[in-house]
Amino acid sequence: TDSTTLIEKIIDFLSTVIDNRDVIAILIQPLLKLGLVDRVIGLLTNEIERPPDEKLDRKGSLDLILHFMEELSAIHCVSKAMTSNDRLIKVLVNMIKSPDKVERLQAIALRW
């Protein structure tokens, strides 16, 4: 979606879900099977590939997505799925090779 508000609401909802241990114990495996990791990596990819003029309008989106990825990585089975995901590795390599990598890497470093 191009709606920053919708992305914020979705991530806020999912953050609330993963903060509840009882709920996440029941839902994490179905969410992983539905492609949660791929969807989050897709959000990250879309934000990174946006033209520079669009990024100015969506400054907080990248930070929000990185923060959500950080929350997800605290869950062992999600962390395992993330670290073995080739697409995530490619996205991170592209971030490093990007001309505006300094800003992006600073955003990641601040999150992690």
Of 39, 26, 29, which is closest to residue 69 (Cα–Cα)? 39
Burial class (CB in 10 A: 0-12, 13-18, 19+), 68: buried
pLDDT for position 89: 86
Domains of the chain, residue spans: 4-111
CA–CA distance, 110 with 50 (Å, rounded to integer): 21
Hey, what are 44's tokens?
A: 């990250």
Q: Model confidence over 27-76: pLDDT tens digits?
A: 889 999 999 999 999 988 888 877 766 655 566 788 888 889 888 988 88
Q: Model confidence over 65-89: pLDDT tens digits?
A: 888 988 898 888 888 888 888 888 8
Q: What does pTM read for this prediction? A: 0.75
Q: How confident is the model at residue 102 (pLDDT cuts 50, 70, 90)?
A: low
